[in-house]
Amino acid sequence: MTALSDRALALARAAKQASRLLSSATTERKNDALRAMAAGLRAATPAVLVANALDLAAARAAGQPAAFVDRLLLDEARVEGMARAVEQIATLEDPVGAVTSSWDRPNGLKVRKVRLPLGVVLMIYESRPNVTSDAAALCLKSGNAALLRSGSEALHSAQAIATVLREAVTRAGLPEASVQLVPPDRALLLELLTLEGLVDLCIPRGGTGLIRFVVEHARVPVVKHYQGVCHVFVHAAADQAMAECIVVNAKASRPGVCNAAECLLVDAALADAFLPRVGRALREKGVELRGCARSVAVLRAAGLEVVAARDDDFGHEFLDLVLAVKVVDGLGGALAHIERYGSEHTEAIVTADRPAADRFTREVCASAVVVNASTRFNDGGELGLGAEIGISTTRLHAFGPMGLVELTSQKYVVEGDGQVR
Amino acid sequence: MTALSDRALALARAAKQASRLLSSATTERKNDALRAMAAGLRAATPAVLVANALDLAAARAAGQPAAFVDRLLLDEARVEGMARAVEQIATLEDPVGAVTSSWDRPNGLKVRKVRLPLGVVLMIYESRPNVTSDAAALCLKSGNAALLRSGSEALHSAQAIATVLREAVTRAGLPEASVQLVPPDRALLLELLTLEGLVDLCIPRGGTGLIRFVVEHARVPVVKHYQGVCHVFVHAAADQAMAECIVVNAKASRPGVCNAAECLLVDAALADAFLPRVGRALREKGVELRGCARSVAVLRAAGLEVVAARDDDFGHEFLDLVLAVKVVDGLGGALAHIERYGSEHTEAIVTADRPAADRFTREVCASAVVVNASTRFNDGGELGLGAEIGISTTRLHAFGPMGLVELTSQKYVVEGDGQVR
**Closest A-chain CA to B363:** A24
Quick one: fold of A230-382? Answer: Aldehyde Dehydrogenase; Chain A, domain 2 (3.40.309)
DSSP annotation string for B100-157: EEEEE-TTS-EEEEEEEE-SEEEEE--S-THHHHHHHHHHHHTT-EEEEE--GGGHHH
Q: What is the pLDDT of residue B3?
A: 73
CA distance B194 to chain A (A): 8
Q: How far B96 CA lies from chain A's nearest CA (Å)?
A: 10
Write out the CATH class of domain A3-226+398-414. alpha beta
Closest partner CB to B420 (pick from A219, A374, A395): A374
Of A249, A372, A416, the CB nearest to B417: A372
Cβ contact (<8 Å) for B20 and A400? no
Task: Return the number of other C-beta atoms located less than 10 Å from residue A217's C-beta.
Answer: 18
Helix (H) or strand (E) holding A300: helix A293-301
On the question of pLDDT at B226 being above 90, the answer is no
Q: Which of A17, A19, A109, A122 to mutate: most B Cβ within 10 Å?
A: A109
Say if the Cβ atoms of B24 and A363 lie within 8 Å.
yes
Residues of A in contact with B251 (CB under 8 A): none
Question: Over the stretch A278-289, which tens digit does the pLDDT of each residue have?
Answer: 999 999 999 999
Q: Please state, in angstroms and rounded to a whole number, the distance separating the CA atoms of residues B253 and B249.
A: 5
* pLDDT confidence bin for A2, thresholds 50/70/90: low
Amino acid (1-letter code) at residue A154: A
Burial class (CB in 10 A: 0-12, 13-18, 19+), A311: exposed
- The alpha carbon of residue A65 and the mean position of all alpha carbons in its chain are separated, in whole angstroms, by 23
CA A332/CA B395 separation, integer angstroms: 39
Measured CA to CA, the distance from residue B179 to residue B201 in angstroms comes to 15
A133 touches B at CB < 8 Å? no
- Alpha helical stretches, state H, B285-408: 293-301, 330-341, 354-363, 380-383
Nearest by CB to A410, from B114, B372, B399: name it: B399
Residue B165 has pLDDT above 90, yes or no: yes
- CA torsion, points A385, A386, A390, A392, in degrees to nearest 10? 0
pLDDT at B2: 62
Q: What is the mean pLDDT of residues B88-107?
A: 96
Q: What's the CA dihedral at A50, A54, A60, A61 to 10 degrees?
A: 150
Cα angle value B312/B316/B321 (rounded, 5°):
115
At residue A263, the 3 state secondary structure works out as strand
Residues of chain A found within 8 Å of residue B250, distances taken between Cβ atoms = 420
Is some CB atom of chain B closer than 8 A to the CB atom of A151? no
| Domain range summary for chain B, segments of one domain joined by + | 3-223+402-415, 230-383
Cα–Cα distance between A258 and A317 in angstroms, integer? Answer: 8
Evaluate if residue B67 carries a pLDDT over 90.
no
Contact B103, B412 (CB under 8 A): no
**Dist. CA A56–CA A62, nearest whole Å:** 10
Q: Which helix (H) or strand (E) holds B10?
A: helix B3-23
Please name the residues in contact with B315: beta carbons below 8 A apart, sequence gap of 6 or more.
B229, B340, B341, B342, B343
Instruction: Report d(CA B358, CA B361) in Å as an integer.
Output: 5
Query: What's at A25, amino acid-wise?
Result: A
Interface test with B, best of A100, A412, A415, A417 (most B CBs within 10 A): A412
- Please, which residues have CB within 8 angstroms of residue A189's CB and are 6 or more apart in sequence? A124, A149, A182
B-contacting residues in A 80-99 (Cβ below 8 Å) = 97
CB contact under 8 A, B400 and A416: no
Q: Which residue of B has its CA nearest to A98?
A: B362
Q: Which residues of A touch B108 (CB under 8 A)?
A: none
Q: Is B10 on the interface with A (CB under 8 A)?
A: no
What would the mean pLDDT of B131-144 be, rounded to a whole number?
97
Q: Indicate whether A172 pLDDT > 80.
A: yes
Residue of B nearest to A248 (CA): B420
Contact state of B414 with A103 under an 8 Å Cβ cutoff: no
Strand partners, B111: B103, B414
Q: Which residues of B touch A242 (CB under 8 A)?
A: 417-418
* CB–CB contact A399 B409 (8 Å): yes
Interface subset of B 184-203, CB within 8 angstroms of A: 196, 200-201
In this structure, what DSSP letter does residue A313 have? G
Tell me the percentage of chain B whose pLDDT exceeds 90. Answer: 92
Name the least confident of A108-122, A217-231, A347-361, B273-287: A217-231
Write down the pLDDT at residue A419: 97
How far apart are alpha carbons B37 and B216 in whole angstroms?
35
pLDDT of B344 over the 60 cut:
yes
Interface mutation target, options A13, A217, A364, A414, chain B, most CBs of B under 10 Å: A414
What is the CATH topology of the domain spanning B3-223+402-415?
Aldehyde Dehydrogenase; Chain A, domain 1 (3.40.605)
Instruction: For residue B223, list chain A residues with Cβ-Cβ distance below 8 A.
Output: 396
Contact between A164 and A37 under an 8 Å Cβ cutoff? The reply is: yes
Query: Mapping DSSP to helix (H, G, I), strand (E, B) and coil, where does residue B306 land?
Result: coil
B338 part of contact set with chain A, CB < 8 Å: no
User: Chain A residue with minimal CA distance to B222?
Assistant: A221
> So what's the pLDDT on residue B412?
97
CA distance A279 to chain B (A): 18
List the strands of the sheet with A179-181, edge to edge.
Answer: A179-181, A145-149, A120-124, A201-204
Tell me whether B24 touches chain A (CB under 8 Å): yes
Q: Which DSSP string do the residues of A56-100 spell out, in sequence order?
A: HHHHHHTT--HHHHHHH---HHHHHHHHHHHHHHHHSPP-TT-EE
Verify whether the Cβ–Cβ distance B397 to A399 is below 8 Å: no
Q: Which residues contact B314 (CB under 8 A, 6 or more apart)?
A: B263, B324, B326, B337, B341
CB of A77 less than 8 A from some CB of B:
no
Which of B198, B341, B414 best probes binding to A when mutated, by most A CB atoms within 10 angstroms? B414
In the predicted model, what is the mean pLDDT of residues B282-309?
98
Query: Is residue A396 less than 8 Å (CB to CB) from chain B?
Result: yes
CA angle, A223 then A225 then A228, to 5°: 145
Please indicate whether, in this complex, the C-beta atoms of A394 and B239 are within 8 angstroms of each other: no
A222 — contact with chain B (CB < 8 Å)?
yes
The partner residue sitting opposite A414, judged by closest CB among B97, B365, B368, is B368
Looking at CA atoms only, how far is residue A9 from chain B in angstroms?
A: 17
pLDDT at A189 over 80: yes
Cα distances (angstroms) measured from residue B114 to each of B95, B101, B139, B405: 9, 8, 18, 12
- The pLDDT value recorded for residue A209 is 87
Which among A114, A382, A396 has CB closest to B421? A382
pLDDT beyond 90 at B312: yes
Counting one residue from chain A and one from chain B, the pairs whose CB atoms sit within 8 A come to: 212
Cβ–Cβ below 8 Å for A118 and B395: yes
Q: Least CA distance to B243: which residue of chain A?
A: A418
The gap between the terminal CA atoms of chain A, to the nearest Å, is: 46
d(CA A353, CA A373): 14
> With 90 as the cut, is the pLDDT of residue A225 above it?
no
pLDDT of res. B5: 82
A408-419 and A110-117 beta bridge pairing: antiparallel
- What's the rounded mean pLDDT across residues A187-199? 95
For the cut 80, the answer to whether the pLDDT of residue B271 exceeds it is: yes
The values of phi and psi at residue A409, to 5°, are -125, -170
Percent of chain B's residues with pLDDT above 70: 99
| Mean pLDDT on B38-43 | 98
Q: If we measure between CA atoms, which residue out of B201, B160, B126, B143 comes closest to residue B54?
A: B160
Residue A394 has pLDDT above 60, yes or no: yes
Contact A417 B242 (CB under 8 A): yes
Confidence bin at B207 (pLDDT 50/70/90): confident
Question: A411 vs B363: CB contact, 8 Å cut-off?
Answer: no
Q: Which residue in B has a C-alpha nearest to residue A369's C-alpha?
A: B413
pLDDT at site A111: 97
CATH architecture of B230-383: 3-Layer(aba) Sandwich (3.40)
Continuous segment of H or E residues that includes residue B242:
helix B240-252
Cβ–Cβ under 8 Å, residues B159 and B51: yes
Give the mean pLDDT of chain B: 96
Residue B302, classified by CB atoms within 10 Å of its CB into exposed (0-12), middle (13-18) or buried (19+), is middle
Q: Between chains, do B369 and A413 touch, taking CB under 8 Å as contact?
A: yes
- pLDDT higher than threshold 60 for residue B1: no
The reported pLDDT for the residue numbered A165 is 98
Q: Which of A396, A399, A415, A417 has the highest number of chain B CBs within 10 A, making it the mutation to test binding with B?
A: A396
Q: How many Cα atoms sit within 13 Å of B337 on the Cβ side? A: 31
Alpha carbon separation from B72 to A119, A140, B43, B150, B259 (Å, rounded): 38, 48, 20, 11, 21
